Amino acid sequence: MSQDRRYSFEFFPTKTDAGHEKLIATARQLASYNPDFFSCTYGAGGSTRDRTMNTVLQLESEVKIPAAPHLSCVGDSKDDLRSLLTQYKAAGIKRIVALRGDLPSGMGMASGELRHANELVSFIREETGDHFHVEVAAYPEMHPQARNFEDDLRNFVRKANAGANSAITQYFFNADSYFYFVERVRKLGVDIPVVPGIMPITNYSKLARFSDACGAEIPRWIRKQLEAYGDDTSSIQSFGEEVITQMCERLLQGGAPGLHFYTLNQAEPSLAVWNNLKLPR
């Protein structure tokens, strides 16, 4: 890592050539800030497998920032996963974000030979030893499909004990939920770094839909203020930047080991927060 704390940015693979060109241009802009790595998501059931790989390889070879592909086990056989790991290893990729993955519409839970993220982490270790730095997901406000918070904590412990090196959280807007989660997993014997996932606020309606789907709570005072701005995009972005900057300041002051920005393939919202925080570059 380039400093005591690590900072990273996440992209999603695009469906069009124009979108991909914009993604790479955004990555080049972000690369000038010397992040520790870029990550690239993986569609439900591996639906973006080839686009994810192509994006990751281009980020690594052309943009010259270490790239971490997301890898999910839902819908993929062990042979599929083994092939991907072999290709990533041969390309010099050193970091992987290991996830259970989202289920495509109509796909049953039985699809794929591995059912849970801890099984995927174990599989990566069995196949590649310590070659990859393995990231796993953490949910400070509980995974939306978990039965309860205690069960979700146990799931996280299983992933960590299977061989994860560190974790990235789902985004949140309440720093206390992050600190409470870290306190709980430390008491359960997990000492890997847990890096907060940060979602800049730029569009209220999209954020509300996405947050409702993934279980990220928007505090009532934030929601009401964003609603009050209506279609005033400038005010929404200004307020969002202030709220996220203040939360990040508190996270870092409280000992968070870095920040992972969900860019949605845009540079400016994340960089506004980065610059406000005067992070190293």
Instruction: For residue 237, give the 3-state DSSP assignment.
Output: helix
- Strand 258-262 relative to strand 194-198, pairing: parallel
Question: Who's near 232: CB < 8 A, 6+ residues apart?
Answer: none
Catalytic position from the list 10, 60, 135, 241: 10
DSSP codes joined into one string, 197-230: EE-----HHHHHHHHHHHT----HHHHHHHHHHT
- The C-alpha angle with vertex 59 and arms to 209 and 28, in degrees rounded to 5, equals 80
Examine the residue annotation and report whether 10 is marked as an active-site residue of this protein. yes
CA dihedral 221, 224, 227, 232 (to 10 degrees): -50
Residues belonging to the active site: 10
